[in-house]
C-alpha cells in the first residue's frame, strides 16, 4: 500500500512501428573490435536477429515490432573481451511494446551525466543462462536517468522493474548496480506491482550499492534475496544492500509500496554500511530505506557488516563508529540506524579535528 505517489517525470517518446515479429537487438561481441568499448548511440555496434528490421536510430536501439516482443542485450561472449557500453545521450523506449533489456556475461554499462535510459519494461543485470556462469555484470551510474515503465501490452512481459542477478537456468552469476549520482525511478507509479527493485532471484547473487547523497533512488517495491512470497528453493538468492556514507551522509532508497527481505533458506541477505569519510557531526536516525508504504518491513537481514542483523543489533561501520540497526526507524517502518551513544562524542571530536586540520592547512 502506498502513502504517496512517486514524483512525475515527463519523457518524450518517439515510436517507430514495423511489421516485424519478435526480435532481439544485441551489442555485437566481435573480437575484431576489441576492446569493445563505445557509446550506446553508435548504431554500427548493434545487430538485429531479424535482418528485415529497419536500421537503428542514432540514439537507440528503439524499434518497435508491431506484433510481438522486443529485447535489447549487452553481453560478453565466451572467450571474447567483455563489452563496456556508455549511455551518454537520451535513449527512450516506447511504452506501447514490451521492452526487455538484459546486461549479462560480464558486460558493464555506464550511465553518465547527460545519459538517459528510460521506458524499459524490465532490466536484468547479470543472469545465469546462456553459458555465462561465473561472470559479473554491472551497471555503474554516476549521473543521468534510469527509468522503468509498465508497457501498454503487459501480456508480453513482467511488470516494469530491475532485477540484479537472476540465476535463471544457471546459478553462478553475479550482478551489481552501483549508483553514486543521477536518478533511478519508475514512471506511472499508480500502476499495480510496477517498479520493483529486486536484489537477487533464482539463485543469483546481486548487490545494490548507493554512494553518498548525490543519487536519487525511488522505486515501487524492494525485494532482497528472492521474490516476495516465494518459498520454493528455485526462487531464493543472495542479495546485498550496500551504502557508502560520506561526510554529508547517504541517500536513502525510497520505496512506495513494500519492503521484503527474504528469510527462507538457503537464501542469504546482507546489509553492508561503510563510513567512507568522517561525518561532519553527530547524526541520529540515518535512514537507509525510506519505506513509504503503510506496512512494516517483512523479514530481516542475515548479516549486518558481517555480524548479527536483528532489531537493535550493533555494528562497526568504520572509524570506530558503532551504530544500532532498526527496522522501525523514521516514521516506524523504515530501515536505518542511530549511532551508539558512546560514539556521539567521538563523532563530534572527529568533526572538530577535521575543522582544525582545514584551518591549519589554510594558514
Torsion of CA 83, 89, 95, 96, to 10 degrees: -90
Residue at 269 is within a domain: yes
Which residues are paired to 205 by β-bridges? 174, 238
What gap in Å lies between CA 72 and CA 125, rounded to an integer?
A: 12
Write the pLDDT tens digit of every residue in 220-267: 999 999 887 666 666 678 999 999 999 889 999 999 999 999 876 666
Domain that holds residue 170: 17-362
Q: C-alpha distances in angstroms, 136 versus 69, 82, 127?
A: 27, 10, 9
- The answer on pLDDT for 305 being more than 60 is yes
Q: Is residue 1 part of a domain?
A: no
Residue 11, in any domain of the structure: no
- Measured distance CA(204)–CA(180) in Å, rounded: 23
pLDDT of residue 15: 30
pLDDT tens, 152-176? 554 445 578 999 998 875 556 899 9
Confidence (pLDDT) at 332? 93
Query: Which cell is 66 given?
Result: 508491431
At residue 11, the pLDDT reads: 31
Question: What average pLDDT does the chain have?
Answer: 76
Res 24: pLDDT: 73
The pTM of this model reads: 0.84
Pick from 148, 167, 168, 174: nearest CA to 159: 148
DSSP letter string over 304-320? ETTB--STT-EEE-STT
Cβ pair 210, 286 in contact under 8 A: no
* Counts for the chain of helices (H) and strands (E), in that order: 1, 26
- Give tens-digit pLDDT for 220-229: 999 999 887 6
Q: Is the pLDDT of residue 189 over 80?
A: no
Residues 6+ apart with CB under 8 A from 79: none
Q: Specify the pLDDT at position 80.
A: 74
Is residue 312 pLDDT above 50, yes or no?
yes
Residue 278 lies in a domain: yes
Domains identified in the chain, total number: 1
The grid cell for 310 is 536483528
Higher pLDDT, 267 or 217: 217
Check whether 285 has a pLDDT greater than 50: yes
Residue 136 lies in a domain: yes
Question: Domain for residue 8, yes or no?
Answer: no
Whether 216 maps to a domain, the answer reads yes
Domain presence at residue 87: yes
Which residue's C-alpha cell is 500500500? 1
Amino acid at each position: 500500500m502506498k502513502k504517496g505517489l512517486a514524483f512525475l517525470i515527463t519523457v518524450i517518446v518517439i515510436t517507430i512501428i514495423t511489421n516485424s515479429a519478435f526480435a532481439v537487438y544485441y551489442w555485437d561481441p566481435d573480437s575484431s573490435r576489441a576492446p569493445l568499448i563505445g557509446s550506446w548511440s553508435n548504431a554500427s555496434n548493434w545487430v538485429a536477429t531479424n535482418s528485415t528490421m529497419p536500421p537503428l536510430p542514432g540514439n537507440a536501439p528503439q524499434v518497435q515490432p508491431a506484433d510481438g516482443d522486443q529485447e535489447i542485450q549487452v553481453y560478453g561472449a565466451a572467450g571474447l573481451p567483455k563489452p563496456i557500453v556508455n549511455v551518454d545521450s537520451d535513449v527512450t523506449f516506447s511504452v506501447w511494446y514490451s521492452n526487455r533489456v538484459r546486461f549479462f556475461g560480464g558486460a558493464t554499462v555506464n550511465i553518465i551525466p547527460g545519459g538517459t535510459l528510460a521506458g524499459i519494461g524490465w532490466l536484468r543485470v547479470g543472469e545465469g543462462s546462456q553459458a555465462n556462469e561465473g561472470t559479473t555484470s554491472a551497471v555503474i551510474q554516476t549521473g543521468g536517468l534510469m527509468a522503468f515503465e509498465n508497457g501498454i501490452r503487459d501480456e508480453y512481459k513482467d511488470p516494469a522493474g530491475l532485477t540484479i542477478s537472476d540465476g535463471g537456468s544457471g546459478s553462478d552469476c553475479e550482478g551489481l548496480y552501483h549508483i553514486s549520482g543521477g536518478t533511478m525511478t519508475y514512471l506511472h507509479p499508480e500502476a499495480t506491482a510496477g517498479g520493483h527493485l529486486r536484489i537477487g532471484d533464482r539463485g543469483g547473487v546481486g548487490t545494490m550499492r548507493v554512494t553518498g547523497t548525490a543519487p536519487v533512488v525511488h522505486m515501487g517495491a524492494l525485494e532482497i534475496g528472492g521474490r516476495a512470497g516465494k518459498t520454493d528453493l528455485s526462487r531464493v538468492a543472495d542479495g546485498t544492500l550496500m551504502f557508502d556514507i560520506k561526510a554529508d551522509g547517504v541517500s536513502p532508497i525510497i520505496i512506495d509500496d513494500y519492503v521484503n527481505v527474504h528469510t527462507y533458506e538457503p537464501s542469504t541477505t546482507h546489509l553492508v554500511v561503510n563510513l567512507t569519510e568522517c561525518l561532519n557531526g553527530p547524526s541520529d536516525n540515518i535512514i537507509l530505506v525510506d519505506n513509504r508504504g503503510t506496512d512494516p518491513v517483512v523479514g530481516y537481514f542475515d548479516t549486518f557488516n558481517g555480524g548479527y542483523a536483528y532489531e537493535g543489533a550493533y555494528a562497526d561501520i568504520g572509524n570506530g563508529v558503532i551504530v544500532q540497526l532498526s527496522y522501525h526507524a523514521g516514521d516506524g517502518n523504515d530501515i536505518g540506524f542511530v549511532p551508539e551513544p558512546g560514539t556521539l562524542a567521538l563523532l563530534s571530536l572527529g568533526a572538530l579535528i577535521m575543522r582544525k586540520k582545514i584551518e591549519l592547512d589554510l594558514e
